[in-house]
Amino acid sequence: MSLRELVDVDARIVSVENLRGKVYKTAMIAPEIAQRAKPMQFVNIALGNSTDPLLRRPFSLSGIHPGSGIIEITFAVVGRGTQIMAGWQPGQQAKVLGPLGNGLDLGGLCLDHGLILVAGGTGLAPLLPVASVALEAQVDLKVFYGARSADDLLDTGELGAGCQFYLATDDGSAGTKGLVTDVFESYLSGLGTGDTGRPTVIACGPKPMLRQIKRICKRYGLPLVVSLEERMACGYGVCQGCVVPSAGMKHGYYRVCTDGPVFWADDIDLGECTT
């Protein structure tokens, strides 16, 4: 993303849908963003005309529709900003800055042995456009998705029947009871010795989950791309609020907003697994 490609638009809200529990999906008309955006890019949204809340809030694009000019955001209500978004009415306008971050070009990855997406909670949102592109390109796709409970799940229907889908919830209210990282690891450990291909893995979710995925991918020799969601203010590299250390500090700190949010896991220091 170069600053010249950025637009700050008045997007018109088309719908706000409560998917379940605290999870919502909003669609808005923002053709300038829909026509420029790549999978795994994000937008920074102003939540009103007042100074409260002062800072914009960043959200991944969970749907990108260049034809209709619609972008979709799927979000969980966690605080004041997302509470305001949940109350948006169709026809209302919101200032949306984007597309931000580098996004992901699937053509730059080796997908000869397939693609595995691993998501935790709202971390599935940026992976949905990736799944669409992969399915369209007939890539062998597996999706591992975990959340705390059935009430925290995003809509997965749009993944369609084209992929193998593994679901886990901490409380067992949907899918396998337990952590999605365990389901992912037991899938890999069950592969026969004949399964020599190395699928590429892309993961998005809470940091502890990403640490475990990095450990597992190292163990099985799988290339891993992660998308980070550090708290940030500006979204375009000025405030430096979202920095993460590079692996071994070889390259100092990376800004998640402009250097990421997508990184090769080996390039960044995600910290140590504690369990």
Ligand X SMILES: Cc1cc2nc3c(=O)[nH]c(=O)nc-3n(C[C@H](O)[C@H](O)[C@H](O)COP(=O)(O)OP(=O)(O)OC[C@H]3O[C@@H](n4cnc5c(N)ncnc54)[C@H](O)[C@@H]3O)c2cc1C
Give the residue with the Cβ less far from ligand X, 169 or 185.
Answer: 169
CB of 121 to ligand X, least distance (A): 8
Indicate whether 229 belongs to the interface with ligand X (CB under 6 A): yes
Indicate whether 177 belongs to the interface with ligand X (CB under 6 A): no
CB of 137 to ligand X, least distance (A): 23
Indicate whether 82 belongs to the interface with ligand X (CB under 6 A): yes
Stretch that binds ligand X, among 14-22, 171-179, 194-202, 225-233 (CB under 6 A): 225-233
CB of 257 to ligand X, least distance (A): 7
Give the integer Cα–Cα distance in Å for 53 and 67: 33
CB of 264 to ligand X, least distance (A): 17
CB of 154 to ligand X, least distance (A): 9
Sole binder of ligand X in the list 5, 17, 80, 266 (CB under 6 A): 80
Stretch that binds ligand X, among 70-78, 91-99, 104-112, 265-273 (CB under 6 A): 70-78
Give the integer Cα–Cα distance in Å for 68 and 143: 27
Sole binder of ligand X in the list 16, 34, 38, 59 (CB under 6 A): 59
Sole binder of ligand X in the list 71, 75, 97, 202 (CB under 6 A): 75
Give the residue with the Cβ less far from ligand X, 230 or 269.
Answer: 230
Footprint of ligand X on 99-158 (CB under 6 A): 122, 125
DSSP string, the chain: --GGG-EEEEEEEEEEEEEETTEEEEEEE-HHHHTT--TT-EEEE---SSSSS-S-EEEE-SEEETTTTEEEEEEE--SHHHHHHHT--TT-EEEEEEEES----GGGS--TT-EEEEEEGGGGTTHHHHHHHHHHTT--EEEEEEESSGGGPPP-GGGGGGSEEEEEETTSSSSEES-HHHHHHHHHHTS-TT-----EEEEES-HHHHHHHHHHHHHHT--EEEE-----SSSSSSS-TTEEEBGGGTT-EEEHHHH-SEEEGGGB-------
CB of 155 to ligand X, least distance (A): 13
Sole binder of ligand X in the list 177, 218, 219, 231 (CB under 6 A): 231
Indicate whether 20 belongs to the interface with ligand X (CB under 6 A): no
Kind of pairing between the strands at 115-120 and 23-29: unpaired
Distances (CA, A) of 73 to 155, 219, 268, 272: 12, 34, 27, 31
Indicate whether 236 belongs to the interface with ligand X (CB under 6 A): no
Indicate whether 78 belongs to the interface with ligand X (CB under 6 A): yes
Indicate whether 60 belongs to the interface with ligand X (CB under 6 A): yes
Which residues here bind ligand X, judged by CB under 6 A?
42, 53, 57-60, 74-76, 78-82, 122, 125, 229-232, 261
